[in-house]
Amino acid sequence: MRYREIVILTGAGVSAESGVRTFRDNNGLWEDHRVEDVATSEAFARDPNLVQRFYNLRRNQLHHIAPNPAHLALARLEREFDGRVTLVTQNVDDLHERAGSRDVIHMHGELRRVRCTRCDTVHHWLDDCTQRSRCPNCGQAPSLRPNIVWFGEMPFEMEAIHDRLTRCDLFVSIGTSGSVYPAAGFVSNVRHAGEAHTIEVNLEPSAGASRFAEHRNGKAGALVPVLVDELLGVGRSG
Ligand code: OAD
């Protein structure tokens, strides 16, 4: 069978071979911080300077990492596939774009964007952001926060994602532990729609592995180029 519409979901595991630390391999700490100290709106209200510094460091790290073969293969899939490919990522880095992917939905936001809490505009932001930084639109300060979805906040573009999930005939999840909703539930949204095939590519079986029809366990940098070759070749038979 040839697929017409593919949705790919990626998580931290796809960027691991580029040198980005995943979330759940470090005693619950994210780059040595407790998540509730840096990734909640309460943390930002309590200590905005700490939160800004944390995301400034993450944003600066982007200068020192590069896309790996998994990112490059997914960009090639989007370019060469004779149908629609939608890439939904939980990652806040920009490695998919730097590899050449165009149709990328960042459901948890992006390090290189900030949002004004007063006028709600979103700005591309490459430098450090502090409580003294002024919003380029309304000129207010302090007003800017990382355009990141923190715990307790609604992920971005959920309507568009659900629309693509219900239409797709192949859903592939790559490098995600399947422990954070709503992304962890996407595989069920697909299967309810009918005939779609589902594949999990992950270092080890994820928390939601039993919900996938097919499993490929190992490193994304090795497995994703092989999968993309298959999808661009004869496709899945049967
Ligand atoms: P996790 O750290 O929870 O899971 C990463 C998964 O990738 C694990 O299952 C690893 O086994 C797997 N993995 C590691 N290296 C790999 C490799 N080279 N190839 C393939 N798989 C590999 O990260 P996510 O599932 O992305 O949310 O986490 C989901 C969300 O939780 C994040 O987006 C973040 C976090 O809290 C927010 O910030 C809102």
Cβ(220) – ligand 1 distance below 6 Å: yes
pLDDT band at 88 (very low <50, low <70, confident <90, very high): very high
- Ligand 1: which residue has its CA nearest to atom 33? 90
Cβ(108) – ligand 1 distance below 6 Å: yes
User: pLDDT, tens digit, for every residue of 119-168?
Assistant: 999 999 999 999 999 999 999 999 999 999 999 999 999 999 999 999 99
- Ligand 1: which residue has its CA nearest to atom 31? 180
Known catalytic residues are 108
User: pLDDT, tens digit, for every residue of 196-206?
Assistant: 999 999 999 99
| 198 close to 169: Cβ distance less than 8 angstroms | no
168 CA → ligand 1 middle, Å? 23
Average pLDDT over the chain, rounded to whole? 93
Q: Residue 162 half-sphere exposure, CB side, CA atoms within 13 Å?
A: 9
88 CA → ligand 1 middle, Å? 14
| 88 close to 74: Cβ distance less than 8 angstroms | no
Residue 35 CA, closest ligand 1 atom number: 36
Q: In testing the pocket of ligand 1, which one of 37, 202, 204, 206 has its CB within 8 Å of the most ligand atoms?
A: 202
24 CA → ligand 1 middle, Å? 7
pLDDT band at 217 (very low <50, low <70, confident <90, very high): very high
Q: pTM for the whole thing?
A: 0.94
